[in-house]
Amino acid sequence: MGKTIFWFRRDLRFEDNTGLLNAIAKGKEVIPLFIFDLNILKELPEDDARVNFIYRKLKLMNEVLNGCGSSMLVHKGDPISVWKKLIDLYDVEDVYVNKDYEPYARERDKSVQQLLEHHHINFYQFKDQVIFEEDEVVKDDGLPYHVFTPYKRKWLSKFTGPALGEEVDFSSFYKFKSDFPSLQHIGFDPSDILVKEPDISRAEHYERDRDFPGKEGTSHLGPHLRFGTVSIRKVIHLLKPAHEVFLSELIWREFFMQILYHFPRVVHENFKTKYNGIQWLNNKTDFDKWCKGQTGYPMVDAGMRELNATGYMHNRVRMVVAGFLCKHLLIDWRWGESYFALKLLDYELSSNNGNWQWAAGTGCDAAPYFRIFNPESQLYKFDKEHHYVNKWIPELESGTYPEPMIEHKFARNRALETYKRGIII
């Protein structure tokens, strides 16, 4: 009997995995596959913490499979080249995946599907990483939403509760022994940065604590949703009606996903083209100070140092540091977006792009260009006792901490004038 391959990508779990459950239901032996995609990996540092996280999770999954006589099939390379080898090695009849909505992934999957169909192999895709995908929450005329609030209202009106999948039947996996590669074989070195375990219980006080970086008020769920080590349905299943603000953040995630799907140009362009005339200064020295956390503004510097050291940055602080780069320093949001893409453990193209354009004022439903955060008042309001900034800036009270690299009032006025001149009517 021919084999079924389930291709793991952004769904590194056995529990409540839509595509995997459908593959098992086909009734044929299932080969579990993961491909370390060189088209993605070639852009990453050799000790990338996210690759380390993926590797550790795959190793744990492989150990579970070994317990039932199976293995995780792990390959490295260009996906098309890998699939050509797999077609030669196995009598493959069906391939199952969960959908990925990013531009590169869509092109990759289209090419793989064409290859498989050429060999008379079925290719099945399933919705898994979202509650509603690109065309399920749209305006009455069928067009995508540009503004979050009406999108959220429609999302909630359609939502009837998450349906969790049944338990996985591990006897359905193909019985074979495959050597699990070392991290070095994949081309990477160990990282000292670790992904924290998610804590959904923090949804209980999320609305109260979420803006204060000195508190442990966030769930650390981001990387786990990004790589699918937890199911979005399971997360929402655990929420209570009182956790409305937490749920709203999950809806923002799907809002930005559908923006990216319908408007892939936002990867490199302003969503609002009227801002295309902005003349960014793009001073490399200023950018380097921002990257290193040496701007002289404690809230900004603490955030950047936290990011560089841990791969995390508190959500409130992300708004402050992004706004500072775009409006105080007049550096193109794409520079900051790229730096976050390199560092964030929870980096997700749609959310990262959407939030950076929100901060710059160029995106859909963005903060207006004249909304310019004062980093000093943000510090006073959200870290008054300096618990957060003292943790990341030990020299803050020593007299060696630098003066602000630019005066806020001057920077604000300069940003307002630059934006006004750059707006294309």
The catalytic residues are: 249, 252, 280, 315, 333, 356
Output the 3-class SS for the chain: CCEEEEEECCCCCCCCCHHHHHHHHCCCCEEEEEEEEHHHHCCCCCCCHHHHHHHHHHHHHHHHHHCCCCCCEEEEECHHHHHHHHHHHCCEEEEEEECCCCHHHHHHHHHHHHHHHHCCCEEEEECCCCCCCCCCCCCCCCCCCCCHHHHHHHHHHHCCCCCCCCCCCHHHECCCCCCCCCHHHHCCCCCCCCCCCCCHHHHHHHHHHCCCCCCCCCCCCHHHHHHCCCCHHHHHHHCCCCCHHHHHHHHHHHHHHHHHHHCHHHHCCCCCHHHCCCCCCCCHHHHHHHHHCCCCCHHHHHHHHHHHHHCCCCHHHHHHHHHHHHHHCCCCHHHHHHHHHHHCCCCCHHHHHHHHHHHHCCCCCCCCCCCCCCHHHHHHHHCCCCHHHHHHCCCCCCCCCCCCCCCHHHHHHHHHHHHHHHCCC
Asked if 227 contacts 221 with a C-beta cutoff of 8 angstroms, the reply is no
Asked if 99 contacts 127 with a C-beta cutoff of 8 angstroms, the reply is yes
Burial of 399 per CB tally in 10 Å (0-12, 13-18, 19+) = exposed
Asked if 182 contacts 74 with a C-beta cutoff of 8 angstroms, the reply is no
Positive or negative torsion for Cα 299, 304, 307, 312: positive
CA-to-CA distance for 218 and 105, rounded, in angstroms? 29
- Tell which residue, 213, 218, 220, has the closest CA to residue 388: 213
Asked if 327 contacts 411 with a C-beta cutoff of 8 angstroms, the reply is yes
Place of tokens 């995780």: 72
